[in-house]
Chains A and B, each alone.
Chain A
Amino acid sequence: MSDHDISPRHWLRQQFKGEGRRLRNAWLLALTTALAAMALLGLSGWFISAAALAGLAAGGIGAISFNLLAPSAGIRALAVGRTVSRYFERLVSHDATFHVMQRLRTRLFGAILPRVPGPLSHLSTGHLLERLLGDVERLENAWLGQGQPTLVAAATALVLLVAGYALAGPLAALALLIGFVLMTALLVRLARVSDAPLRQRAEERERLRGDLVQALNGLPDVLAYGLRPTLLKQWRERLAGLADLEHRLAWRQALAQTLIQSLMQWLAVGMLLLLIGPVQDGAVDAPMALALMLLVLAAAEVTLPLAPAWQGWSDTRSTVSRLAGLTEAPLPRAAAEGDRTPAPDGLLATRGLTFAWPGQAPLFEHLDLDVRAGTPLAIVGPSGAGKSTLLHCLMGLQRPTGGEIRFGGVAQSQADGDAWRRCFSLLLQRQQLFTGTLRDNLRLARPDADDDTLWRALEQARLADLVHRRGGLDLWIGTEGLHLSGGQGRRLSLARVLLRDSPVVLLDEPFTGLEPATADALFETLQSELADRVLIMVTHDRRQAERLPEKLTLTP
């Protein structure tokens, strides 16, 4: 796998690049919010202490000479400004992040499509779904919970350093600098020691998830043979182990959080103590010293999200490497790379056709076939012999390793990909129904078909009556919404193939899971409706194969 060479930072930057301007705005707004909150407390402290001094000086009567308007207006402005900027910061940062995630999801989906079957075949549907939903959602945190708080904290630290230097001299600035360096070291250390347990937790959760599915599938065995107590004991131990891990992580994070927060508070008080001398000398204004302390104290809010942010970096990194594994997997080379359009002439031919999965012995070698319209070909052979792969090669879903496929006077490698595929339709072993209406599902095969065309196809597949009974073309179906029997489902797939009206029809095990009587009925429909097409049928049922004029046997 190449995912180890990709730097997570670089990959993340690429994903977030499109929203760069808005993310910068969000960061500026967040910084404004933080600085306004600090300034609010600082200014308020300064105002009170300056007022107290003025009041003392005035000695009991109204201290009219004190400039009241400017600081009080400032306080009001900061109070409202902080809230408003925080509100907009959250809106902008979340909206920008979600835009990034939307694009990422679409991009990942687009990356998965051409790689299955292929380099991503080893991932189950459940795994791919978890990548698209769970992993992408976890990545939201990369900016909202990690990037932005860290950048805001860094900028705030800079502002504090400058303010400390300007208001209280180099000694104060040095103290702040040492505090910030310590804090950074603490965070780096936290991220490092949390890495292993976090990884362990994530792996253990994934294992539990997988094992639960296995145990639930095998539940009849477990219950019938009294294995439940054994199984439950195993599960108890593993769950307790997971809880232990959570306890350990909690200690670490709590400790780091406390150290960071105390460090900020010590810095705040330390500022004041450092300024005692200068205040007594009159070099620094007392209200100013107080304001500086409050400023640092209020900055504690900025450091609050840092510990979880840095601890979570390990999670982000492994999420990124999982997702990069999808997009960086090598893209299989397209079978049809030219621009020519086949002119259907009723002859599909192969010469020396060979296919091998990378690093493996060829599935089939030097196949020479001539399949003519009206003379269907049966392909038989045990599972694993490459029957389905041969169909995929013919259709151009998979690039053959060697040899040539010709149809309509054009070699596959010189044909336009879409034009080539338009000449074919494929009936899969388990044709998938998609969430949507029955009409949507049929139109997959032919997006421009009107209702009359759809009904004609349903009639040809002898399914029209059933669809009438169940509520017509607007029937809402999903994977489990329409409880069709095996035979009915196969007829619906057949309707899609007929609707496509393509000159070549490839059928992959159309009779699996069907009772012989159902299979026979379907076979007759197929033969009568597809009599004038180039027809190739993969089957493991010898009875059906005998009924076709031509036969090809593949052996593993």
Chain B
Amino acid sequence: MSIDPHQADPAGWLADQRRHAPRMLKRLLLTALADAPLALLQAALLAWLAANLLAGQGRLWTPAALLLLTLAVRALAGAARARFSAGAAADISLAIRERVAGALLRGAGGAMTPGEASTALLEQAEAVGRYHAGFAVQRRVASLATLLFLVAAFAVDWVVGLIFLCTAPLIPLFMMLVGTGAQRAADRQLESLRFLGGYFLDRLRGVLTLRAFAREEAERQAVDIANGEYRRRTMKVLRIAFLTSAVLELFAALSVALVALYVGLHLLNLVAFGPGPALDFGTGLWLLLLAPEFYQPLRQLAAGYHDRAAAQAAADTLAPLLADHTDTDATPSAGPIAAEAERHPAAPTAPSKAALALEGLSFRYADGEGEPLFESLDAQVAAGECLVLRGDSGTGKSTLLKVIAGLLPADGGQVLHDGRPAPRLNQATGRLAWAGQHPWFLHGTVAENLRLVAPEADDAALEHVLADCGLADLPAGLATPLDENGGGLSGGQGRRLALARALLSPAPLLLLDEPTAELDEDLEARIVAALAARKGERTLVIATHSPALAALADRSVWLGGEAHE
């Protein structure tokens, strides 16, 4: 699979996601920037009020009213900021989720497990949104706010300014120093979480095995050990994080203490440097109130550090997934054929005869370990013939079927439909029909679902094909309601309805995955007969263990070596 390196660069992709919520992010930045000047004003008014109180002269109610007004405005700005932040995160997540859903439903995540796919759609898209609404904005706000506070402090008293200036750069420096160590520990913790997830999954799937071997107590202890390991690694990560924020807080606290001492000594006339008599009580208090505010943006930035790591991890998964999706849309070799197929869909009344050829086909699991599932596979099927794929379960029959359909890319060799390379299946070509183990239906009736593939078929034709598949006795016949997952029918009935749909469709090439699995012999015989009747006009590819069905084969492909031993 060729992926354009620029498309798949996770860091570039991550930065680019900002474009999904430009207005929200602009508003967010503005409200966030308003905080620092408001903090300056608030401190000034507070200091003014206190100075008047202390001096026992001057107005008190004016500064008090102004202070309350400023507090209200600052609180409102804070609310707007929280609102815009959540909004920007939701908008960015939504845009990414739409694209991820689009890519997944195009078959781009072929190598992902369903669990990974749903994590990508929900949690990872969310992580990217949160990063842009949080850390990314805070980074810009923190630098500007820090600058503003520094200017304000220096304008009033260079000693306090110097205290701020000396402690501020230490914070990013320290963050960088611990950052690499923290990243390594976080990676190890993530690895431990994956291990724990795999471990639980494994054990839950094999509960019966564990009980059969009387291993409950031993496994409970083993699970506790794996659990404890995860706890220890999590604590290690957090210890680093806590130490980082402790140092940040120490800086903040020490600078408050330093400023208080300096101002206090100054007011007692005990220090001889600094701006001298210009530093009165009001100004001193103002500086003191500024000290905690000065460190606040930097502390918030440090608190959002792990959001950044989560977003980067998400980008590593999402960027290639979405890049793959743009890639499959414009595969040079498949493009013209797919487009042509779209312009001239096979005429529903007279299906053209399809022929299929597999040339030196190989497939290997994505992890690249172990032996290939199949290698240098060759087969030729003339139009109207039946190809049966055989082999023990686990030898790759379903995978081969997906490769033939164009759902999975082969590692080597090619699949030819009518002598031309098969296009990657990402839109209807009208050329192939599919009936698998987990069918998907439209929310609607059985008839609506069947007419989807044959709009002009009358009720008699639908009932005929249902009877062929042993579905003549559905609760409400053609009007039986269905939901997306085949609800309304049992699992076996749903699979047979998928088969009926495939038989009804005018597509010349039928790909069927175990159409007679778990059926009794009468039903199996009926379906074998229905398929036999279609030989000659349709090309069939069937994956099966059933000897009765295998008897239809004009050609067979054996997967896995054991049958030949």
Contacts and interface: CB of A to CB of B under 8 A. Distances in A.
B365 A483 contact: yes
Contacts of B199: 435
Interface string B69-105: 0011001101110110111011101100110011011
B384 interface: no
A231 B105 contact: yes
Given A117-B208, A232-B101, A254-B80, A290 B53 contact: yes
A80 B253 contact: yes
B267 interface: yes
Interface in B207-231: 207-216, 218-220, 223-224, 227-228, 230-231
Contact of A49 (B281, B434, B442): B281
B84 to A, nearest CB: 9
Contacts, number: 422
Interface string A80-107: 1011101100110011001101100110
A87 B97 CA distance: 38
Contact of A250 (B90, B193, B234, B391): B90
A219 B103 CA distance: 12
A52 B263 CA distance: 9
A214 B86 contact: no
B184 interface: no
B107 A227 contact: no
B249 A223 contact: no
Contacts of A512: 393
Interface in B410-438: 425-428, 430, 432-438
A91 B239 contact: yes
Contacts of A445: 213
Contacts of A439: none
A226 interface: yes
Contact of A487 (B68, B224, B392): B392
A125 B53 contact: no
| Contact-residue bracket for chain B | 35 or more
Contacts of B202: 432, 434-435, 478-479
Given A48-B264, A224-B434, A431-B209, A41 B390 contact: no
Given A90-B238, A212-B117, A258 B78 contact: yes
A386 interface: no
Contacts of B159: none
A63 B269 contact: yes
Interface stretch (A163-171, A347-355, A370-378, A514-522): A514-522
A109 B371 contact: no
Contacts of B82: 250, 253-254, 257-258
A367 interface: no
A423 to B, nearest CB: 11
Interface stretch (B169-177, B284-292, B349-357): B284-292
B261 A112 contact: no
Interface stretch (B461-469, B473-481, B529-537, B557-565): B557-565
A476 to B, nearest CB: 10
Contacts of A126: 114-115
Contact of A243 (B93, B204, B216): B93
A280 B52 CA distance: 11
A128 B214 CA distance: 21
A15 interface: no
Contacts of B94: 239-240, 242-243
A122 interface: no
A486 interface: yes
Given A41-B292, A94-B238, A258-B78, A217 B114 contact: yes
B318 interface: no
B249 A485 contact: no
Interface residues of A, number: 150
Interface string B234-262: 11001100110010011001101100110
A91 B159 CA distance: 36
Most buried by A among B60, B106, B209, B426: B209
Contacts of A49: 50, 54, 281, 285
B203 interface: yes
Interface string A475-504: 000111111111111000000100010000
B64 to A, nearest CB: 6
Given A250-B87, A272-B49, A286-B54, A48 B392 contact: no
Contacts of B206: 432-434
A8 interface: no
B253 A219 contact: no
Contacts of B501: 221, 225
Interface in A279-336: 279-280, 286-287, 289-290, 293
Interface string B266-279: 01111000000000
Most buried by B among A63, A247, A265, A485: A485
Contact of B365 (A217, A243, A280, A480): A480
Give the 6 A-B residue pairs with the shortest CB-CB distance, closest first. A218-B440, A226-B428, A432-B206, A250-B86, A513-B393, A486-B392
Interface of A: 40-41, 44-45, 47-49, 51-55, 58, 60-63, 66, 68, 71-72, 75-76, 78-80, 82-84, 86-87, 90-91, 94-95, 98-99, 101-102, 105-106, 109-110, 112-114, 116-117, 125-126, 128-129, 132-133, 205, 208-209, 211-228, 230-232, 235-236, 239-240, 242-243, 246-247, 249-251, 253-255, 257-258, 261-262, 265-266, 269, 272-273, 276, 279-280, 286-287, 289-290, 293, 382-383, 395, 397, 418, 421-422, 424-426, 428, 431-435, 444-445, 447, 478-489, 496, 500, 512-518, 521
